[in-house]
Amino acid sequence: MSVEQVSLNIKRGDTWSRSLYFEYEDGSPIDITGWTIRFSVKEKLSDNDEDAKIKKIITSHTDPTNGESEISLTIINTNQTIDSYLFDIQVTTDGGEVYTIVEGLINISDDISKSS
């Protein structure tokens, strides 16, 4: 698997989610039953995992036999200081192989509307 470089934009304090789809080069789904997906957001590369601003570990998938999962963030997760952070998505297969599939910057920006 290759590492895709992306930039994500999230409004501070918003609920956010993204679906993930795993497939072979021919487009057929990869069965991700037993896989673990890790989503980590850090201020700097040298930060320990325990110091991550946001850390999600996903072991229950939307439709694992069809290669579907989801990362969901709550308003508590996204209630961070307005800034740009490093993030990655890493998978561990049921066979113990580890792959980083996406990495990049996540930009937390301020809302125009502020709910109380």
Domain count, the chain: 1
Are 96 and 27 a contacting pair, CB within 8 Å? no
The residue-averaged pLDDT of 23-52 equals 96
The residue-averaged pLDDT of 53-65 equals 98
Q: Residue 91: which CATH number?
A: 2.60.40.10
Sorting pLDDT into bands at 50, 70 and 90, what band is 116?
low
Range of the domain at 46: 4-109
Cα 59 to Cα 61: distance, rounded to the nearest angstrom: 6
Sorting pLDDT into bands at 50, 70 and 90, what band is 113?
confident
Cα 48 to Cα 5: distance, rounded to the nearest angstrom: 21
Sorting pLDDT into bands at 50, 70 and 90, what band is 114?
confident
Asked if residue 116 is part of any domain, the answer here is no
The residue-averaged pLDDT of 51-77 equals 97
Asked if residue 68 is part of any domain, the answer here is yes
What predicted TM-score, i.e. pTM, was given to this entire model? 0.90
In 3D space, the residue among 7, 46, 37 whose CA is nearest the CA of residue 100 turns out to be 37
Asked if residue 84 is part of any domain, the answer here is yes
